[in-house]
Amino acid sequence: MTLEIIRIPVLSDNYVWLVHEPVSGETMAVDPAIAEPVLEEAKARGWTITQIWNTHWHPDHTGGNAAIKDATGCTITGPAAEAERIPTLDRMVAEGDTVMLGAAEARVIDVPAHTAGHIAFHFGEDQAAFVGDTLFAMGCGRLFEGTAEQMYANMRKLEALGDATRVYCAHEYTLSNGRFALTVEPDNAALVERMNEITAMRDRGEATVPTTIALERVTNPFMRASSVEELAERRAAKDAA
171 is catalytic: yes
Question: Between the CA of residue 53 and those of 106, 122, 153, 204, 237, what are the distances in Å?
Answer: 11, 12, 23, 31, 32
pLDDT-above-70 percentage for the chain: 100
For 99-111, what is the mean pLDDT? 97
Amino acid at the residue 228: V
Amino acid at the residue 62: T
Residues contacting 70, CB < 8 A, separation 6+: none
Question: pTM of the entire structure?
Answer: 0.97
47 has pLDDT over 70: yes
pLDDT digits over 59-98, tens only?
999 999 999 999 999 999 999 999 999 999 999 999 999 9
Point out which residues pair with 18 in neighbouring strands: 6, 29
Q: CA 86 from chain center: how many Å?
A: 18
Q: Can you give the pLDDT at residue 241?
A: 86
56 is catalytic: yes
Q: Catalytic one among 31, 110, 126, 133? A: 133
Q: Catalytic one among 20, 31, 110, 114? A: 114
Q: Catalytic one among 20, 31, 60, 110? A: 60
122 is catalytic: no
pLDDT digits over 115-149, tens only?
999 999 999 999 999 999 999 999 999 999 999 99
Q: Catalytic one among 20, 31, 58, 110? A: 58
- If you average pLDDT over every residue of the chain, what do you get? 97
What is the C-alpha separation between 216 and 212, in angstroms, rounded? 6
Q: How far apart are the first and last CA of the chain?
A: 39
Q: Can you give the pLDDT at residue 150?
A: 98
Q: Catalytic one among 20, 31, 61, 126? A: 61
**4-240 maps to which CATH number?**
3.60.15.10
20 is catalytic: no
Domain boundaries, given as residue ranges, for the chain: 4-240
Q: Catalytic one among 20, 118, 122, 171? A: 171
1 has pLDDT over 70: no
pLDDT digits over 163-211, tens only?
999 999 999 999 999 999 999 999 999 999 999 999 999 999 999 999 9
